[in-house]
Amino acid sequence: MTDFLFDVIATELEDAVGKENCSTRSIDKITHSVDYFWLSRMWADRGLRMPEGDFIVAPKDAKETSAVLKIANYYKIPVTTWGAGGGTQGGAIPVCGGIVLDTKRMNKIYDVNEQGMYIECGTGSIYKHIEWAANERGYATMHYPSSLTCSTVGGFLAHRGIGVSSTKYGKIDDMVLQMEVVLPNGDIIETSPAPKHAAGPDLNQIFIGSEGTLGVMTKAQMRIYEQPESRQFRGFLFQNMTDAFNAGRELLQKFKPSVMRLYDEAETATLIKKIVGVEKKGAFMNVAIEGVKEMVELEKKILLETFAKYNAEDLGSEYGEKWWKEKITFFYPGHMMDIPQCFGTMDTIAPYDKIEKIYWAMKEAIETNFPQARFIAHFSHWYEWGCMIYDRFIVDGDKVPQDPHEAFRLHQEIWNCGVRTALANGGVVNDHHGVGIKLGRLMKEQYGPAMQVFEGIKKQLDPNGIMNPFKLGL
Amino acid sequence: MQFSQKAKEHIDSCRFCWMCHHVCPIGNATGLERNTARARALGLSLVARDAIEYSEDIINNVYECTLCGGCMTDCVTGWDPVMFAKEARLGAALDGKLPEYVMTMLKNFEEKGNIYGADRNENIPEIKGGDILFFLGEDARAKGCAKVAVDVLKAAGVEFTMLKDEPNSGYSMDFLLGAAAEAKTVMETCAKTLNGYKTVVCYDPADAKVMKREYKEYGVDMNAEVVTFTEFLAGLIKDGRLNVKNCGEEFTVQDSTILARDLEETEPIREILSACGNVNEMLLNREHTVLAGNLIMNEYMPDVMEKVAQRRWFNAENAPKKATTVVTSSVADYALLATTKPEDMELLKVEEVVAKCL
Ligand SMILES: Cc1cc2nc3c(=O)[nH]c(=O)nc-3n(C[C@H](O)[C@H](O)[C@H](O)COP(=O)(O)OP(=O)(O)OC[C@H]3O[C@@H](n4cnc5c(N)ncnc54)[C@H](O)[C@@H]3O)c2cc1C
Ligand code: SF4
Ligand code: SF4
């Protein structure tokens, strides 16, 4: 792009969002070039510059977003939407340069609606801020991912995020009522006024998970819930994981706890021992039940009876309470994997008939093909029909090549191996972190010809292909 | 720019951590990604690796931090963005790269003894009293008013001294330059005067903070006991020297970040307000308070300071029980809240509440 054209576009963008909200400063470009994706972190750690946007713009609402997208479409420049950059898949990295559209100025809380039990907010709101808004009125969002403080409403929607209380309250796609979306051509649309309807396919679900490739979500109505009268925890130790899966499945046919987390032996012996203090061998499982007091008491009785059938050792409430208190401690530097280690979370999901098989297959594939890697896992989101594996590989720093290109290669090879093994055994590319640039190449391997549905929607809505290129395999 | 080993370690820990993304009063007001601890750390980590220059852009970002400690308080680790931001400011000074707005404030300081370039306020009286020194501080002298505080102290029969030529505590120099020799010299000069008194009651929490913390850290000799105004006032009420009547009004505390975090003082203001009425808390209170304003930064980013204060009013309006009267003991918070006050709400200094209830 010539300097002249650059200035033409810069001044048009300034006109759209205000001069102070359109930046070409190096500090802004740098901060929007590194997200939570391991590769971008490794690159920066090695003193290299990641691909950077040319213009960092921050619209305040749908109208300004629309103006930005119209400019981008006219000049055919890429637009990468950035929430808070807390995504792990490189989804917000402007790999082709162009415009980075930061949503965090769209952080207005429009309404805490106690009748309809939702908060209407700008999608640039950090989720913790809408939790605060709910708490101020005595409610809660019940969306408690470890990144509650790190990420935006729009980011969670775009990546189909999930929190620890998902079994009872659902995933982010269960928590949204209505959305306002700016299409790539700048049109501003609203999805159906209510989510459960028979007025055609669900528009919400087309944009949820679309990772900024089909437009920008600018406003959303997110559900709120009454604070539970009682919340109780119970820790258990299973002798093997088969028993744990069977116990979990049986329990879920009877009622829904809020939290269900099963740690494999490797994580029980490391993370759980370190942070929660469980010293025993086995697979630790934490269950939380919550709601109206009398019902919680009854559910506790059912829980204890069901798990006893599978020889689970009842560890009482202490470990579970400690886990709840420390649930985000796991994610701070010093408690969490970090550079110079090479690591990744390959979360996948499947019905109970396949999930354990996937776990063992992935473990074996990673450990045999990459003897330098450790494999640990827990199973954190449970449904009546199946659950997800949050499995991680870790290569310690002394085994990670210093050469950034070699480190890059190792990282990609481990991912290919892990995800392909999951797919081969009935899993999916990802459960709740999304696809981004990290896993785009594997989308076609999961979907096969079904991918043309996504491609068709993309082509129709974004004919110039400006929205977040090379993400989601689109 | 040369960082200490300690600063490098903290920078490298914060650069890829998103956990305190939600607390930064500046980030929340501007919506800008660069106004987060992790963004600042990332930029500085690249400087430390010689991947980028310590340029004007990066330095400006270092001056966009209020040093309020919100990130640190929220963090479970002890990594310290305030420490590395201050070291980066010192580095900019040592490299001769201070931004123009900082240079202007330093010039003001040299010429007028305060960074605002304010002339001496002749309306502030000199009071010759006992061995208690009532220390007003730079912000109150240049941008505030402590008249009611003085009246309240008099009403309690406190014998105190207030200086016409009050030395500068060094708070602003420390804010702008970190542990620079110039900041230490200002503190040493101040300590020499203060050491002539038994007790120093600091009207502005910012001065109490440097006297209690930085003087010690920088090895400045200080013998006088330093007490915050709120602690002193609460003591006067407890001892019965100030007889306040409970007027039944509701007060919402805007905790000073300096008092609540740096000095771990949160209860005296509540004791005072409970004696005068009832306390109605905002959700984010005590050490989780949110900065409502910084007068030094107001010199170079007034628009952002306005937004910061507006956001705090929003918190007060949305308190579990809507606040009607917000009370603070922070000179800076008061000044910025006053310029953005919604019509249907009231703002008071803590001494004004006491004066009302005498
Ligand atoms: C410490 C830590 C722990 C984590 N734990 C969890 C967890 O427990 N559960 C979980 O689900 N995730 C977790 N994550 C991942 C992360 O929080 C989620 O992926 C989140 O969805 C990212 O949101 P963001 O606002 O940071 O988005 P970004 O990283 O900025 O963007 C992510 C993607 O969304 C797109 N996007 C963002 N906003 C919009 C919008 N308004 N419209 C259209 N597209 C948009 C971007 O283009 C990009 O493709 C964790 C991350 C961290 C850092
Ligand atoms: S202060 Fe703590 S929470 Fe904030 S970036 Fe540093 S390590 Fe993370
Ligand atoms: S010290 Fe305050 S202003 Fe600075 S990064 Fe932390 S929270 Fe933001």
pLDDT of residue B93 exceeding 90: yes
Domain of A320, CATH number, reads 3.30.70.3450
CATH 3.40.50 maps onto chain B at 132-229, 235-356
What is the predicted pLDDT for the residue at A402? 96
Q: Is the pLDDT of residue B355 over 90?
A: yes
Give pLDDT, residue A271: 84
What's the whole-number mean pLDDT along residues A215-233? 98
- Whether B32 and A335 lie within 8 Å, measured CB to CB: no
Co-location of A119 and A90 in the same domain:
no
Q: Does B321 touch chain A (CB under 8 A)?
A: no
Residue A207 has pLDDT above 90, yes or no: yes
What CATH number does the domain located at B132-229 have? 3.40.50
Do A135 and A42 lie in one domain? The reply is no
* Position A472 in a domain: no
Average of per-residue pLDDT values in chain B: 97
β-partners of residue B249 are B277
Share of chain B above pLDDT 90, in %: 98
Fold of B235-356: Rossmann fold (3.40.50)
Same domain, residue pair A131 and A208: yes
Query: Does residue A155 sit in the same domain as residue A183?
Result: yes
Q: Tokens 């602690």 — which residue?
A: B231
**Do A45 and A130 sit in the same domain of this protein?**
no
User: What is the mean predicted confidence (pLDDT) over A115-120?
Assistant: 98
Ligand nearest to the CA of B35: 3
pLDDT(B236) > 90: yes
pLDDT digits (tens, 9 = 90+) for B32-85: 999 999 999 999 999 999 999 999 999 999 999 999 999 999 999 999 999 999
Distance of CA B2 to the CA centre of its chain: 28
Q: Domain for residue A92, yes or no? A: yes
Of B43, B79, B320, the CB nearest to A30: B43
pLDDT at residue A274 greater than cutoff 90: no
Side-chain-side CA neighbours of A467 within 13 Å: the count stands at 29
Among protein residues, the one with the nearest Cα to ligand 1's atom 15 is A87
Among A135, A149, A151, the residue with its CB nearest the CB of B20 is: A149
Please check the confidence at residue A276 and state whether its pLDDT lies above 90. no
* Residues A152, A217 within the same domain: yes
Q: Looking at the structure, do residues A118 and A218 belong to the same domain, yes or no?
A: yes
Joined together, the tokens standing for residue B83 give 């420490």
Residue A468 maps to a domain = no
pLDDT tens per residue, range B159-175: 999 999 999 999 999 99
- From B179, B171, B173, select the one nearest B4 (Cα to Cα): B179
A192 and A241 share a domain?
no
User: Which is more confident, A310 or A277?
Assistant: A310
CB within 8 Å: B22 and A126 = yes
Which tokens hold the place of A395?
């290569």
Percentage of chain A surpassing pLDDT 70? 100
Which of A80, A106, A147 maximizes ligand 1 atoms within 8 Å of its Cβ, making it the mutation to test the pocket? A147
Q: What is the pLDDT of residues B256-267, one digit of tens each?
A: 999 999 999 999
State how far the Cα of A421 lies from the Cα of A354, in Å rounded to an integer.
12
Chain A interface test: which of B15, B21, B73, B75 (most A C-beta within 10 Å): B21
Which residues, 6 or more positions from A41, have their beta carbon under 8 angstroms from its beta carbon?
Answer: A34, A339, B16
Q: Is A4 exposed, middle or buried (0-12, 13-18, 19+ CB in 10 A)?
A: exposed
Is residue A337 assigned to a domain?
Answer: no
Number of structural domains chain A divides into: 4
A118 and A163 both lie in a single domain: yes
| Average pLDDT, integer, range A42-50 | 96
pLDDT at A367: 96
Locate A24 and state its tokens: 């070409």
Secondary structure percentages of chain A, helix, strand, coil, to 5: 40, 20, 40
**What ipTM does this complex have?**
0.95
Of the residues A303, A331, A359, the one at which a domain ends:
A331
Contact B55, A28 (CB under 8 A): no
- Full-model pTM: 0.97
- Please give the structure tokens belonging to residue B71: 């990130």
Give per-residue pLDDT as tens, B177-210. 999 999 999 999 999 999 999 999 999 999 999 9
Could you tell me which residues come within 8 angstroms of residue A364 by beta carbon, excluding any fewer than 6 positions away?
none
**A79, containing H or E segment:** strand A79-82
Specify whether A113 is located in the same domain as A221. yes
Asked if residue A197 and residue A268 are part of one domain, the reply reads no
Which residues make up the CATH 1.10.1060.10 domain(s) of chain B?
5-94
| Residue A469 lies inside a defined structural domain of this protein | no
pLDDT of residue A275: 82
Structural domain of A61: 3-102
Return the pLDDT at B104: 98
Phi, psi of A153 (to 5 degrees): -60, -45
Q: Is the model's pLDDT at B94 over the cut of 90? A: yes
Structural domain contains residue A263: yes
Mean pLDDT of A450-470: 98
Instruction: Tell me what pLDDT residue A233 has.
Output: 97
B49 vs A: CB within 8 A: yes
CATH code reported for the domain at B5-94: 1.10.1060.10
Does residue A1 surpass a pLDDT of 90?
no
Q: Determine the Cα–Cα distance for residues A74 and A53; give it in Å rounded to an integer.
A: 18
The answer to whether residue A336 sits within a structural domain is: no
Mark yes or no for CB contact A147/B18 under 8 Å: yes
Tell me the pLDDT tens digit for each residue of A130-188: 999 999 999 999 999 999 999 999 999 999 999 999 999 999 999 999 999 999 999 99
- Model confidence at B131, pLDDT cuts 50, 70, 90, reads very high
Ligand 2 contact via B13 beta carbon (within 6 Å): yes
- Domain-located, residue A473: no
Q: What is the pLDDT of residues A375-388, one digit of tens each?
A: 999 999 999 999 99
For the CA of B257, the closest atom of ligand 3 is 2
The H helix count followed by the E strand count for chain B is: 20, 7
Pair A82, A30 in one domain: yes
